[in-house]
Amino acid sequence: MADTFQYSFIKSEEEFSIFVESIGLFGNFSGSDKNLVVLPDGRIDLFFMQTSTDHFQVLLMGLETEPEQRTVPSGMYAYAVSFTPLGLEYVLQTSIADILNTARKLPVHFWNNQKENFKDLDTFKDFVMEKITALIPQQIEERKRRLFDLIYASKGEMSVAELSKRVGWSSRQINRYFNAQFGLSLKAYSDILRFRASLEHIAVGKLFPELDFSDQSHFIKEIKKYSGVLPKDLSKNKDDRFVLLSVLKQK
């Protein structure tokens, strides 16, 4: 492998996209530790992580609501499955309300994984898709499917009241569901998706609000809330420490 920090991913097939956004591999194959900032993006990541030659662990990450500084040691790499909220509920069949901004350790042999499943990204993808195909249910509650379709299509800009009206599900019930399942409100989740959508604009140097922010001041405040820095500093991405932004710039 190249002597660098690497990140690559494969987007999920369309038929599985309501459950899984992407399957990826990242690793620090350089000779020194790498300092990164993890940004909230609304995804739920399942990591199969090799931290040293004899230390392997499986982690389910909760949703992030704030930027987090992390150090990736030299030699550490991980295969990852990025689930959507519906994937969490219907494939993993669990709640992450108790691990907001943190993680849960899973058994090291989760999904009966074997060493040969991690030969390369394509091999890992085949392993993951076989597991998911066996786990997905025949039916999904239609109002939940419709809710997330609208949330994603609007990039988090649609109000809770409008979502409630279109789905036919009271805002109180929706928020009860979100808090119980994910550990935050629908509004908080939508704000994270709007931030993530804004990163696509910042990645190409657009430092003014392109989405539904009330004004420039509100835009700057929200970007700093979720990234820890001003839009102009985020755009510079010094030392490629904002990995999510680096990926967007490569598109």
Pick the closest to residue 210 from 218, 223, 201 (CA basis).
201
**Phi/psi at 121 (nearest 5 deg)?**
-65, -40
Q: Which two tokens stand for residue 20?
A: 């899984």
The confidence band for 109, taking pLDDT boundaries of 50, 70 and 90, is: very high
Q: What is the mean pLDDT of residues 71-79?
A: 91
More confident residue, 199 or 78: 78
Q: Count of alpha carbons within 13 Å of 217, Cβ hemisphere only? A: 0
Helix (H) or strand (E) segment spanning residue 179 = helix 171-182
pTM (predicted TM-score): 0.91
DSSP 26: E
Q: Where are the alpha helices (DSSP H) in 15-65?
A: none
- Which residue spans within the chain are E strands per DSSP? 5-11, 20-28, 34-38, 44-52, 55-61, 68-72, 77-83, 103-106
**For residue 246, is pLDDT > 70?**
no
Q: Which long-range CB contacts under 8 A does 173-180 form with residues at least 24 apart?
A: 174/147, 179/97, 180/95, 180/97
**For residue 27, is pLDDT > 50?**
yes
